[in-house]
Chains A and B, each alone.
Chain A
Amino acid sequence: MSLSHETRYSDEQLARYLLQLLPEGDMERLDEMSIADEETAWRLRVVEDDLVDAYVSGRLTGETLKHFEAFYLSSERRRRKVQFAGNFLDKVEREAASSKVGRSAPWRLREPIAAGWCLAAAAALLLACGALTVRYVQLRSVLSDARGQSASLERRARELEQQLDRQRAANTETLNELGRVRTAMAELQAAATPPSNASSGTSQALRAIALVLFPQTRAVGQIPTLVVPPGTSRVTLELRLESNRFPRYQAALKDPASNVIVWRSGRLAPASTSDQQSVSVAIPASVLKAQHYSIELTGDDTGASTEVVGTYAVRIAF
């Protein structure tokens, strides 16, 4: 609490501050120093006592006396200070005088009545100390509880951190798995070219087959056919994108005759290979029949908006 760079005020200036006699600028500076500067705070107390003692001893005169009575005595707290000073200085002077003639009993008591007040003072001290002890014990207990709670919360935080670490490890494993699946899909795609070959039935041994589809245009073209060999569990379609504007996509497999959605994918992330962008969708073979299907691909802007970005057609044969 020290402001070493601040101006150092003399005792006289401090006394004038206490009587509100300094210019406003100095008053404010000393207001701050009385709180923020250790040395000034203490000096003010000492100067204030000396000022009060001077008033009690009748040594204040003129403007200082006038301001002391007009301002200083306007506060109950400060009036009590003055009252105490009167009695205190009286005692000090008496003690000083007795010490000159040889002190035998310092701070002698004032006749029998003093015993009563001493008992009261002693009782007040005992009560105060008792209350203090009780409160101290109570607070020790509260502090102990608080420490217990704090330890328990720390334990819980550690558990949650460990849980989070495990979750992160699992996520990493999932991502690795996803990478492996994509690699496998790319290999399958390479093995399945051209698409017409897919219908030739050369991949009967595969449990999953794949086909690349392009968005339908207005031009009437031949609808690609995918022959699904027996025992195939999953058909993977790579839907090429004209433009990749969404972070996530969703595919809906529709029966074009009834326009009924027969299957819908989860959220799909787009993938890029060289200059091509596509979305891979794996359809369970069990939902497929030998017929035409249309696949509607919807772009999903993290829930804010959705938009159909392309429609794909495929004929399934067994």
Chain B
Amino acid sequence: MTRVLHEIEPIVRILFGREASFPSVSPNIVREEEGLTRVAFDRLLDWLDDGKESNGETYLEMRRRLVSYFDRRGRLSADELADETLNRIGRTLEKDGVIATTPPARYCYVVAKYVLLEDIRRERRHVPLDDSRGGTVMERRVMTRPVPDDGAMLREQRLECLDCCLQSLKPEQRDLVVEYYRDTKRQKIDRRRELAARLGISMNALGIRAWRIRSALESCVETCCKGPRQV
């Protein structure tokens, strides 16, 4: 359920627009499954919002950042570690009521760092004897990783799903991603600059807008591909 809700989040954004009030639903489920009490979770949401009501958006955004952080640091279970980080903070808020460190995002990083170190230590303790000279986990994974191409059927399926997901975009969203991601090198840079000027926004804002649409499409494709296999 948690996974499904995380995956459908971008789809809901496509359907109802970027500003749609989606997220207060998903985090609750995550927390209930992880055993965080409602009081702790409510406090966590309020604390992350830092005085601004985001309807759970800040929580989701922080979770995405934490997942990326753990993933970049080579952790296999990046999602679980991100949840563990937020759980710890929630429990602290439940116990103490307040956290003095500000801003909240900085404190999240501090806790995440500890969670990372603990996970690394835990992994070292559990390395099988015959693996002890096989290099780091990262190196082993690199050596054994599958080739990105996962078969013609699956590729076909992904393409079809992508077609469908693209069709659910609004025309202006489609135009934006085509303009933003087409071409290469100098042409691409010039095109993006023109696009930003035309829309009256900065290059950064344009990049974020394009990223949101692309990310939503990516999640839509994942969900679409899982659908037929589950039936």
Taking the complex as formed, is A300 at the interface, i.e. its CB lies under 8 A from any CB of chain B? no
The CA of A3 and the CA of B109, in the complex, are separated in Å by 13
A 120-132 binary contact with B (CB < 8 Å = 1; else 0): 1111110111011
Known: A45-B211, A120-B227. A96 touches B69 (CB 8 A): no
A117–B161 touching, CB < 8 Å: yes
Known: A34-B65, A41-B65, A110-B163. A125 touches B168 (CB 8 A): yes
Which of B25, B146, B165, B222 contacts A136, CB < 8 Å? B25
Mark the stretch among A82-90, A195-203, A305-313 that contacts chain B: A82-90
B 174-210 binary contact with A (CB < 8 Å = 1; else 0): 1001100111110000000000000000001001101
Name which of A1, A31, A42, A127 has the most chain B CB atoms within 10 A of its CB. Answer: A1
Which of A18, A84, A91 contacts B166, CB < 8 Å? A91
Taking the complex as formed, is A78 at the interface, i.e. its CB lies under 8 A from any CB of chain B? yes
A92–B12 touching, CB < 8 Å: no
A117–B182 touching, CB < 8 Å: no
The CA of A110 and the CA of B159, in the complex, are separated in Å by 9
Least Cβ distance of A203 to chain B in Å?
A: 63
Taking the complex as formed, is B92 at the interface, i.e. its CB lies under 8 A from any CB of chain A? no
* Count of chain A residues near B, Cβ 8 A: 70
B78 CB contacts on chain A under 8 angstroms = 77
Which of A81, A108, A123 contacts B218, CB < 8 Å? A81
A46–B207 touching, CB < 8 Å: yes
Known: A83-B150, A124-B226. A132 touches B25 (CB 8 A): yes
Mark the stretch among A66-74, A249-257, A265-273, A274-282 that contacts chain B: A66-74
Question: In the complex, given contacts A35-B112, A74-B145, A110-B163, what are 16 additional A-B residue pairs having Cβ atoms less than 8 angstroms apart?
Answer: A34-B72, A43-B204, A46-B210, A71-B138, A77-B67, A82-B148, A84-B221, A87-B155, A88-B162, A95-B174, A107-B163, A117-B161, A121-B161, A122-B164, A124-B223, A125-B220
In the assembled complex, 17 residue pairs joining A and B whose CB atoms fall closer than 8 Å, in A order, are A32-B106, A39-B204, A70-B142, A73-B145, A74-B142, A75-B74, A81-B218, A82-B148, A83-B158, A87-B155, A87-B221, A109-B167, A113-B160, A117-B161, A117-B164, A125-B220, A136-B25
The residues of A with any CB-CB pair to B shorter than 8 Å are: 1-3, 18, 20, 31-32, 34-37, 39, 41-46, 49, 53, 57, 59, 70-71, 73-75, 77-84, 87-89, 91-93, 95-96, 99, 106-110, 113-114, 116-118, 120-125, 127-129, 131-132, 135-136, 139, 142, 146
